[in-house]
């Protein structure tokens, strides 16, 4: 969207779906000791904290796309440091706590990974269930993949039994899948569920090899989210959230369902159950129009958390030690918030939002991100696994500029520094901020070369004007922005 303050010659770009928007949050099973959480963002890649959100940092080295979707973390993260991020083109895995990522092979094809679930016995069985939803007609991903000489639809659930290294198609081949849930007793009961935004709900009892359609009330076939109880082997409880609204519960493994009271018009994007759900009957739901909602009686009543500062919530995460620390995180349209008293009060953790070098004006290319960064002059993209999301922009010509439009209270320029890097002058809202040198003795990637915070919350422009000498270049890897203090 573009807005004008009254002068039709002057227009300011406004992000409707900003890069800070969080798709999923994954909490370390050892959070009580390592304080680790990571958030998948729409356009900024992976945002991590190892301090319980006292500070945040981006970890995108090796990532091929910043538009992350599904996420999962190993139950043995403390030892194996393994986590997964799905994107519109592939599945990315880290085995060093997010420091670097590697693309996992998907039968030689690209695929939009929208659902992920890791086996509770991951250390032993290496099982990952991957839900693929390419978006139907017009997708840039191929419609079919080849496995053992046969073609299979490039949508549905795919199975890996070697920690994501290789995938195979399963009996759920064809329906687009956007949410997957695995029973905590998977090692023995082999049970999993998969939700399709157009075909309903499916259940597997043989480790994900074959699937059966689950009957839901009425004509509900558009399911956005499925979750299972931490005590599923004994209570058989499953929740699903249709994308058209309402919240359904089953207490017999999906055989029959009841709609939770007063949820008919509630649009739920995420549900997280307390790790002690069998005793406290507590869960939190992220909703589009009612913020964070909480139930302490198995869903009989759901109470909006009145202290929560936003109405549009996309993801929630509950501490594995919730019984003692009462810690909950909720990602909303404007920020990520933390509660340490079970949702009674919330604190803004003020994470930055990353804007990658690829968010540029390109009127000749369809499907490109919005024009957040405008380049003037001869800039070129350079691939590098050491860069944030594997690329940066570079120019060797003096006076070439890169202009960032943003609304917020702070900005940070992230770049490559090295012996062949030159200098640049910078302007904030047209006012010179001096010259920044990118020269260093050795190449150093993803360095903060300039930042400021505490600006008035308003539309701003930040301009990098390259001034390299002969044989030098100036690079732009990413910008980070803050909006803390904005209404």
pLDDT in tens, 262-293: 999 999 999 999 999 999 999 999 999 999 99
If DSSP codes are grouped into helix, strand and coil, which group holds residue 125? helix
- Give the 3-state secondary structure percentages of the chain, helix then strand then coil, rounded to 5: 5, 45, 50
For tokens 């509770």, the residue is: 120
Whole-angstrom Cα distance, residue 218 to residue 41?
Answer: 34
Mapping DSSP to helix (H, G, I), strand (E, B) and coil, where does residue 171 land?
Answer: strand
Using alpha carbons, list the distances in angstroms from residue 446 to 337, 434, 476: 26, 21, 9
Q: By the 8 A CB rule, do 177 and 115 touch?
A: yes
In the structure encoding, which two tokens stand for residue 73, read together?
């973390």
Residue 267 near residue 245 (C-beta atoms within 8 A): yes
Is residue 43 within 8 A of residue 369, CB to CB? The reply is yes
Q: Cα(72)–Cα(115) distance, rounded to whole angstroms?
A: 9
Return the bridge partners of 26, or none: 38
Residue whose C-alpha is closest to residue 257's, from 296, 226, 292, 291: 226
pTM score: 0.94
Q: Mind listing the pLDDT tens digit for each residue in 416-474? A: 999 999 999 999 999 999 999 999 999 999 999 999 999 999 989 999 999 999 999 99
C-alpha to C-alpha distance for 104 and 91, rounded to whole angstroms: 5
CA atoms of 461 and 429, how far apart (whole Å): 5
C-alpha–C-alpha distance, residues 89 and 92, integer Å: 10
DSSP string, 213-262: EEP-STT---EEEEEE-TTHHHH--EEEEETTS--EEESSTTSS-EEPTT
Dump pLDDT digits (tens) for 359-400: 875 444 444 444 589 999 999 999 999 999 999 999 999 999
Number of residues that make up the chain: 487
Joined tokens for residue 391:
């690329």
Q: Domains of the chain by range and CATH? A: 18-348 (2.130.10.10), 353-482 (2.60.120.260)
Query: Following DSSP, what letter does each residue of 352-376 receive, concatenated?
Result: -EEEETT-B--TTSTTPPPS-EEEE
Give me the residues of the chain with pLDDT under 70, please.
Answer: 7-14, 361-371
How far is Cα 425 from Cα 363, in angstroms, rounded to an integer?
Answer: 27
φ, ψ at 325 (rounded to 5°): -95, -15
Q: What stretches of 4-110 adopt beta strand conformation (E)?
A: 12-13, 22-27, 37-41, 45-49, 57-58, 68-73, 83-87, 91-94, 102-104
Give the pLDDT score at 13.
63
Structure tokens, 32: 């009580």
Read off the tokens for 244: 């058209």
Q: What is the pLDDT of residue 183?
A: 98
Q: Report pLDDT for 487.
A: 81
């Amino acid at each position: 969207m573009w807005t004008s303050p009254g002068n039709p010659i002057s227009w300011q770009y406004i992000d409707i779906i900003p890069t800070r928007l969080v798709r999923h949050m994954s909490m370390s099973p050892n959070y009580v000791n390592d304080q680790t959480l990571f958030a998948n963002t729409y356009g900024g890649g992976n945002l991590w904290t190892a301090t319980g959100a006292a500070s945040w940092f981006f970890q995108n080295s090796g990532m091929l796309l910043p538009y992350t979707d599904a996420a999962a973390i190993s139950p043995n993260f403390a030892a194996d440091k393994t986590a997964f991020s799905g994107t519109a083109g592939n599945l990315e895995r880290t085995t060093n706590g997010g420091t670097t990522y590697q693309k996992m092979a998907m039968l030689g094809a690209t695929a939009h990974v929208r659902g992920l679930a890791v086996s509770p016995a991951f250390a032993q069985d290496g099982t990952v269930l991957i839900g693929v939803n390419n978006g139907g007609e017009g997708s840039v991903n191929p419609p079919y993949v080849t496995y053992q000489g046969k073609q299979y639809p490039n949508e549905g659930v795919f199975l890996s039994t070697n920690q994501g290294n290789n995938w195979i198609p399963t009996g759920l081949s064809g329906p687009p899948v956007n949410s997957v849930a695995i029973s905590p007793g998977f090692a023995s009961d082999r049970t999993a569920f998969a939700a399709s935004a157009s075909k309903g709900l499916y259940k597997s009892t043989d480790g994900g090899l074959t699937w059966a359609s689950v009957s839901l009330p009425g004509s509900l076939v558009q399911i956005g989210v499925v979750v299972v109880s931490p005590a599923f082997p004994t209570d058989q409880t499953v929740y699903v959230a249709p994308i058209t609204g309402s919240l359904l519960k089953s207490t017999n493994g999906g055989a029959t369902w009841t709609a939770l009271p007063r949820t008919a018009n509630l649009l739920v994007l995420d549900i997280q159950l307390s790790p002690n759900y069998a005793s406290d009957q507590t869960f939190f739901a992220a909703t589009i129009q009612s913020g964070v909602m909480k139930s302490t009686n198995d869903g009989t009543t759901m109470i909006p958390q009145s202290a929560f500062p936003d109405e549009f919530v996309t993801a929630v995460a509950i501490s594995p030690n919730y019984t003692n620390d009462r810690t909950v995180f909720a990602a909303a349209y404007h920020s990520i918030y933390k509660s340490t008293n079970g949702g009674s009060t919330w604190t803004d953790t003020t994470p930055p939002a990353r804007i990658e070098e690829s968010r540029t004006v390109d009127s000749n290319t369809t499907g490109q991100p919005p024009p957040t960064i405008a380049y003037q002059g001869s800039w070129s993209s350079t691939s590098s696994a050491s860069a944030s999301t594997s690329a940066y922009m570079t120019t060797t010509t003096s006076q070439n500029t890169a202009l960032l439009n943003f609304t917020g209270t702070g900005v940070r320029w992230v770049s490559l520094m090295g012996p062949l890097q030159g200098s640049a002058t910078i302007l904030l809202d047209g006012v010179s901020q001096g010259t920044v040198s990118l020269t260093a003795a050795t190449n150093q990637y993803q360095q903060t070369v300039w930042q400021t915070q505490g600006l008035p919350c308003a539309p701003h422009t930040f301009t990098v004007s390259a001034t390299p000498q002969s044989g030098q270049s100036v690079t732009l890897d990413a910008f980070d922005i803050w909006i803390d203090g904005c209404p």
